[in-house]
Amino acid sequence: MKNYQVSEIKNILGTAKTALITVPQLNIDSVGSALALALLLKKSNITTKVFCPHKTDTNYTKLNGLEILTDVYSQNDLIVTLDYPLDQIEKVTYNQDNGKLNLVVQTKDGSPKVAENQILISNQASAADINFMLGDETLLGVNANMVNKGNWINISPTSIEKTWAKVNILDQDAPFSEILTFLLPMLELQLTPESAKNLLIALRIATQSFSVNVSPETFEAGANCLRATQNGQ
């Protein structure tokens, strides 16, 4: 059983409404781990996005939560998020009024109107309330400077601390999926079947079916994920 220092992360999560998870390098281990984290943050009512600058292919189709993943990050984009059931929205349109842009959200007949506290406006130039980096930010190229703003959590299978990180979670030579399997429950984010499946797939790929780069904790992580995938069955 591993023991990471998570008190500062829990403090930030306690008030967070938005989260960004960045994956600089495309592989099953990092993407599967990031999506597992994203699914649990969304389950905790935190608006979450996963950014990886590379497009996935058919090797990633078995992962849950791919709809959360984007390969586009613009530091000038304005994002309007509605905390409102999608099945209650009829359509979204826009119009102009004296040179001003109006976004019009039409709800279905009988649905409650959208309240002001259900509208979240953000600019990607402004960091999310909590940000996670799974990998080396220098691989992001022009977007590497995203770490200059906001509360960042650096999760890395190396021993290299990042000065821009509020918290460094370092576990040398452990795959991301192993780190996240232990880290998530410490953050009071309990594994669901969907998130555990992602981590288990990532663990299998990262360790070549538990044959290389393994420790007793790797097998423990695999057992934890397997148990969680069977919850509710």
Residue whose token pair is 């058919």: 58
The pLDDT, as a whole number, for residue 191 is: 97
Contact 220, 210 (CB under 8 A): no
- Look at the chain and count its residues: 233
What b/e string do you get for 69-94 counting C-beta neighbours within 10 Å, with b at 16 or more? Answer: beeebeeeeeeeebebeeeeeeeeee
Give 214's DSSP letter. Answer: -
136/119 Cα distance (integer angstroms) = 33
β-bridge partners, 101: 96
What confidence tier does 12 reach under pLDDT thresholds 50, 70, 90? very high
211/220 Cα distance (integer angstroms) = 14
Give 71's DSSP letter. Answer: S
Task: Enter the pTM of the model.
Answer: 0.80
% of the chain at pLDDT higher than 90 = 76
The pLDDT, as a whole number, for residue 80 is: 78
7-75+124-229 folds as inorganic pyrophosphatase (n-terminal core) (3.90.1640)
Task: Count CB neighbours of 116 within 10 A.
Answer: 5
What b/e string do you get for 180-203 counting C-beta neighbours within 10 Å, with b at 16 or more? Answer: bbbbbebbebebbebbbbbbbbbb
The pLDDT, as a whole number, for residue 98 is: 80
177/116 Cα distance (integer angstroms) = 38
Asked whether the predicted pLDDT for residue 124 surpasses 80, the reply is no
97/19 Cα distance (integer angstroms) = 33
% of the chain at pLDDT higher than 70 = 95
116/22 Cα distance (integer angstroms) = 29
Mean pLDDT for the chain overall? 92
Query: Would you list the domain boundaries of the chain?
Result: 7-75+124-229, 82-120
Tokens of 161: 């601390």
Strands (E), the chain: 18-22, 47-51, 69-70, 78-82, 89-97, 100-107, 119-123, 130-134, 152-156, 167-170
One-letter identity of residue 157: P
Asked whether the predicted pLDDT for residue 232 surpasses 80, the reply is no
Asked whether the predicted pLDDT for residue 195 surpasses 70, the reply is yes
